[in-house]
Amino acid sequence: MAGSRYRLGVDVGGTHTDLVLLNVATGELFVEKVSSTPKNPALGVLNGVAKFAARGVKPHEIEFFAHGTTITTNALLEMRGPKVGLFVTKGFRAVQEIQQQARDGNLFDYFYAKPAPIAPQSLTREIPERSDYTGKALLALDKDAVRLAARELRDAGVQSIAVCYLFSFMNPGHEEETRRIVKDEAPGISVSISSEVLPRLREWPRMSTTLLNAYLEPVLARYIDHLNKGLDEAGVVTQQRFLMQSNGGVMPFVAAINGGKTVHTLFSGPAAGAQASAWLAENDAERGLVTLDMGGTSADIAFIEGGVPLEITEGVIARRQIDVPSLDMTTISAGGGSLAAVDGAGFLTVGPQSAGADPGPACYGRGGDQPAVTDADVVCGFLNPDYFLGGSQKLDVAASRAAIKARVADPLGMSVLEAAAGIRRIVDMRMADEVLVFAAKRGVDLSAFTLLPFGGAGAVHAAAVAEELNMRRILVPARPGAFSALGLLCTDVVHDYIRSELSPLASITAEHAEAVYAGLEDKAREELLAEGMTLEDSRFLRELDMRYTGQGYELRTPIEGLYEKRLTEQSLAAARDRFDERHAQIHGHAAKERPVEVVSYRLRVRVAVPKYRQRAEIAPANPRPAGDALKGKRQIYFDGKTARESAVYERDGLDVGVSIVGPAIVEQFDATTVVPPGWSARVDRHRNLVLEKGAA
């Protein structure tokens, strides 16, 4: 490997940390998988880097480092963030308590309670100031009140402050001045201002998103500081260090903790896998893909249509509103580490608790005595206990059987095999049900879609999920266990900007709209230069959020192709037509007779960076028969009752164009693929494993 240059993608999961190293000169990929370190996830990353160094990779030759992480997601789910304060316009301290009319969960739940406020009333301060809906200052900022409030919150142990003043998205001056004063009075406190985090109308979503940013920014800043120092000490000297965002793009480390962008990392982990699916499975992506990222603690599901992942601008995580552009995904607690138990009513349950990386499933032999999904996979024969992670980790089958017997089989009066099959059945049906609900909400017809499983456990369960969904085609990528990490080498730097300004479309001039976009573009260029990015490689994409008058929601409408260098009156008229078309496509109707309002202007800047490109292989004239890759045969219990003798293949030994017939198991370093009876599998020209039902 001497003399090479490398690009490194790292995905930190709940159980394992996956690393994919690309040799730029040869296009060769190297994969490492190490145990995650939940107490300090950076240690797992550095352990993986050390493994590459032991294989002869010189750390200083790593020229690009991209990282997907769940550090902010986990901090929010576990409420491990710092103490947060809140500054609001005087008279509006109840916004966080009232939130909005919508209520999650069961409408008839008499014991319903909202999530605990991130900034309690005791740490909320009302600041005299006021701007109107046009941004005109009606009441000057009371600077003395800001100084007093800053000192009070500092003395109360607050580490981060969110500032959310009325109509600050039209005039950010008061929020910016507040931040300067707080920095003077309490230099160690982080400050998130809503005019940077989410400069758009609707008070509660803007406040909620800003509070989340304030809650998570110190967490991410500490993590990045530790990781940066560790990379420096390990000899990874490149300054091209990037973090995955929820929108499927990456941003430099420095951007993640500046300018209110921390909140854009909440879906950092699962976004990389969806992005890889759209980039690397381009032929199938055009037809439609359902991605199933099943890792150690959860399963993430996304849809790819027309070659791009579906995207949303409003979402909820841990019952908290977050309105930033994100890939449209759903997550359920269905991973290899999800724990099985019998509840008080005598029913078998799987999840949401997870064994995680420590102690992990019982078969890991680290002291865990509760059965997990991985234990059920081992007992049923799907996983080879001597070839887990390529044989680097041995699995204890006896421990799995003992845990399932004590916690599930004996309480339910069934055999261990039946209990193990039941655990698998429940987790498979939960994933299938979630896909069905997700598809129904998005109006997706699954019959023509391909299932693309990845993650350490995805290909083990994919066929069973496909059976539940009546899907007949599965595409298993070449490196499924490290697919999300590979996705970090398949994307661009992406930043999103928004400016709300509610006006009738008919009253907006092209000059005014152009001026708004010019302001957003100037801000984008300023930030890109500060991040060390090259403007020559940047591309600006414009959108309008529009709605019919009287509607309570707006529709994101791209306006690319409607202008050349500048917007014109014809461009705005064409934008109206495009909005009508999109409204009819998404909602089934268009009210062409009604006036249209512009709610917000959106800008996305995309900076191209070199990406991994898979190389198509030509099938050899005389491919080696599948038998050459045969490792042996193993008894597999697909139904928990009857054993089926199944061929076991080494995936790297299967040539392009070769086919196998189920029942079969295909093993590789980072994952296992199950080919059930009635299914076949073939290796395509990109070394994907294509499973089809009923094809011989």
Of 504, 497, 678, 463, residue with least CA distance to 596 = 504
Q: What is the mean pLDDT of residues 450-461?
A: 92
φ/ψ of 543, rounded to 5, equals -145, 160
Is residue 1 scored above 60 in pLDDT? no
d(CA 22, CA 170): 45
Domain-embedded: residue 595: yes
User: Which pLDDT does position 285 carry in this prediction?
Assistant: 53
Q: What is the mean pLDDT of residues 654-664?
A: 92
Where does the pLDDT of residue 284 fall: very low under 50, low under 70, confident under 90, or very high at 90 and above?
low
d(CA 534, CA 217): 26
Q: Please tell me whether residues 497 and 573 are part of one structural domain.
A: yes
Last residue of a domain, one of 573, 607, 641: 607
Give residue 397's identity as a one-letter amino acid code: V
Q: Please tell me whether residues 117 and 157 are part of one structural domain.
A: yes
Last residue of a domain, one of 183, 218, 253: 218
Domain-embedded: residue 514: yes
Domain-embedded: residue 47: yes
Is residue 682 scored above 90 in pLDDT? yes
Which residues span the domain enclosing 536? 493-607
Is residue 308 scored above 50 in pLDDT? yes
Domain-embedded: residue 38: yes
Q: What would the pLDDT profile of 356-392 be if each residue is shown by its tens digit?
A: 767 889 999 888 889 999 999 999 999 999 988 777 7
Q: Please tell me whether residues 126 and 62 are part of one structural domain.
A: no
Q: What would the pLDDT profile of 470-514 be if each residue is shown by its tens digit?
A: 999 999 998 898 888 888 998 888 999 999 999 999 999 999 999
pTM for this structure?
0.85
Residue 453 pairs in a beta bridge with 292
Q: Please tell me whether residues 672 and 547 are part of one structural domain.
A: no
Last residue of a domain, one of 163, 189, 218: 218
φ/ψ of 237, rounded to 5, equals -95, -10
Domain-embedded: residue 350: no
Where does the pLDDT of residue 286 fall: very low under 50, low under 70, confident under 90, or very high at 90 and above?
low
Characterize the bridge pairing of strands 315-317 and 320-322.
antiparallel
User: Which pLDDT does position 283 carry in this prediction?
Assistant: 61
Q: Are 157 and 127 in contact (CB under 8 A)?
A: no
Q: Output the CA–CA distances (angstroms, integers) from residue 427 to 4, 121, 356, 458, in the order listed.
A: 43, 41, 16, 12
φ/ψ of 53, rounded to 5, equals -60, -35
Q: Please tell me whether residues 675 and 587 are part of one structural domain.
A: no
Q: Which residue has the tokens 């799987």?
A: 350
Q: Please tell me whether residues 111 and 203 are part of one structural domain.
A: yes
Domain-embedded: residue 351: no
User: Which pLDDT does position 249 carry in this prediction?
Assistant: 87
Where does the pLDDT of residue 675 fall: very low under 50, low under 70, confident under 90, or very high at 90 and above?
very high
Q: Are 265 and 252 in contact (CB under 8 A)?
A: no
Where does the pLDDT of residue 618 fall: very low under 50, low under 70, confident under 90, or very high at 90 and above?
confident
Residue 289 pairs in a beta bridge with 304, 450
Domain-embedded: residue 302: no
User: Which pLDDT does position 282 carry in this prediction?
Assistant: 63
Domain-embedded: residue 545: yes
Q: Please tell me whether residues 174 and 133 are part of one structural domain.
A: yes
Of 481, 450, 434, 436, residue with least CA distance to 336 = 481
Q: What is the mean pLDDT of residues 225-243?
A: 91
Which string of DSSP letters, residue by residue, matches 239-286? S-EEEE-TTS-EEEHHHHTSTT-GGGGTTHHHHHHHHHHHHHSHHHHH
Q: Please tell me whether residues 164 and 205 are part of one structural domain.
A: yes
Does residue 385 have a cis peptide bond before it, meaning omega lies within 30 degrees of 0? no
426: its two tokens: 């429940």
Q: What is the mean pLDDT of residues 162-171?
A: 95
Of 35, 32, 52, residue with least CA distance to 44 = 35
Q: Please tell me whether residues 51 and 94 are part of one structural domain.
A: no
CA atoms within 13 A on the CB side of 142: 16
User: Which pLDDT does position 695 carry in this prediction?
Assistant: 58
How many domains are there within the chain?
4
Q: Are 302 and 292 in contact (CB under 8 A)?
A: no
Q: Please tell me whether residues 673 and 663 are part of one structural domain.
A: yes
Residue 548 pairs in a beta bridge with 596
Which residues contact residue 128 at a Cβ distance below 8 angstroms, ignoring those fewer than 6 apart? Answer: 90, 139, 141, 142, 145
